[in-house]
Structure formats: C-alpha cells, structure tokens
Structure 1
Amino acid sequence: MMRSSPFLRGTALAVSLVLSAPAMAGGYAKSPPAQQSNEESRHRTLTNSPSYVPIAALTATVQANHRARGLLQIEAGLEVPDAQLRRRVERYMPRLRNAWVTALSVYAGVNYRYGDIPDADRIAEVLQEATDMTLGEEGAQILIGMIIIHGD
C-alpha cells in the first residue's frame, strides 16, 4: 500500500478547494429572492405616477444648549413631469442630496427650536429652493411625505 506525504495531501486539498470555489461562490453571490423583495419594498412609493422620483430619507441634527438633542428626519420625493428633467434629476441626485441636507441643517440650527412642532411649509420652501438652485431651473416639485423629530 502506498502512503502519500502530508505535502501531497495538503496540495490536493488546496487544489480541490480552488476548483470548487467558483461553485461555492455562485451560491452566495446573489441574495435569496426573499431578501431582494424586502430591500425593494423598503422604498415606499407615495404615488403610482411615472413622474415621481423617490428620495431616501433626509436627516439633520437638532441642537439645543450647545449639544445634539435629536434628529430631524424627512421622507420626501420629487414630482418631475418632464422626462428630460427627470433624467437630469437622477444624474444630479448626489448634488441634490447635499443641497437638501445642507438646507435641513440650516433649518434645524436656525429656524427650529427644540421641542416645537416642525414647520412643514417652511421645510418644503427650503427644500424647494435648494432643488431649484441645484438644478438651475424650476420644474421638479418637492413632495413631503413625513416629518419626524427623534428626541433623546
């Protein structure tokens, strides 16, 4: 009976693992269908309109007495009837998010007093101004779905 050396056994094991790695990785490359549908369902649609562009939640820190007291969270979307402008909105989304977060931070730091009810009209104005300024034109209307203050 022939005996193999530990080196040959180790090499054979390494070769078999390397050859089976693509097959094993293929099973893990895609998430199960249940997880994919859960991730897609996280983005709630406020309307079935084809001109609606959802926006991921926007947040800003609420401060009082020189310390963070809570978090202002906004759920919103854009109504963009013009298809060309809608494509531009999708391309400009990082710039728009930056403008919205900056505008919300200014609102939370200057216009909002901790403990009061947030002014939805003022928030909509601030976000609309940031949208128009970033895009350089009007035509994309901000729609607010929800405003929440998370306090500590």
Structure 2
Amino acid sequence: MIEITSWLRIDDDELVERAARASGPGGQHVNKTSTAIELRFDVRNSPALPEDVKVRLESLGGSRMTQDGVLVLFAQGSRSQEMNRQEARERLIELIRRATEKPKPRRPTKPTYSSKLKRLETKGKRAGIKSLRGKPRGDD
C-alpha cells in the first residue's frame, strides 16, 4: 500500500511498472541496461480514488494522460533502476496529493466606486485626444 494522505491509500497492484532503456549519454552502460522506469496508473478505473480527485488528477496529468485515462510517468534521471522507480512513485504521489486539494471557490467582486470614476475619467481623456486627430472644423 502506498500512502498518499492520511485518508487515501493506493494498492501496489494498481501500478504497472516496466523497465526500459534510458535515452541520452551514458556510453556502453546505457546500451546494455534497462534502468529507466515507465510507471502506469489507471486513474479512471482506480477504486481507491474519489471521483472529484480523479477529475482533478486527469486535468493535472495533461499530456501524460492517455485517451483511456491512464497516467504514464517516465523516470530516467538516475543510473539505478531502483532510484528511478522511487522517483516515478514520488512524482505520482505528489500529483495525487495536488489533486486531493480542493480549489478555493472564486467569489466575484464588484468594482469600487472610485475605480468606476477613474475608468470614466480616463475614457473621457482618451476621447478628447482622439477627437483632436480629426479634420479641423470651421467653428472658429
């Protein structure tokens, strides 16, 4: 069991880990060892997550989400497979923790009286400047 918060835990069976070859520099070592970890977590079909957390996690996942609602994390920062596994799990835990936080509801505010007056005053100034740009009238 992976503990996300005090009230939320995910079973290890829900995670699918696959070792892959890491890209980038590393010489012969990178060519013969599979140290990178691809971690898959099925968000939509997870029994541990409440619906509101699932929705927020899908939006937080962004391009890491597949069409089927599977979150894919790829860790290849370390030369050790175990350290990459830990990094991928920590990133998953952090994403889920961020998804458990309910966003603060927005309360619409009205503009203050002075800001309304200021807006109208600057609007009048701009109108005066623009009126001077026109052709001269023969009022003089």
Is the TM-score greater than 0.5?
no
Short-chain TM bin:
0.3 to 0.5
User: Which has the higher relative contact order, 1 or 2, with Cα contacts under 8 A spaced 6 or more apart?
Assistant: 1
| TM-score normalised by the chain length of structure 1 | 0.31
Task: From the CA coordinates, give the structure whose radius of gyration is larger.
Answer: 2
Greater helix fraction, Structure 1 or Structure 2: 1
| TM-score normalised by the chain length of structure 2 | 0.33
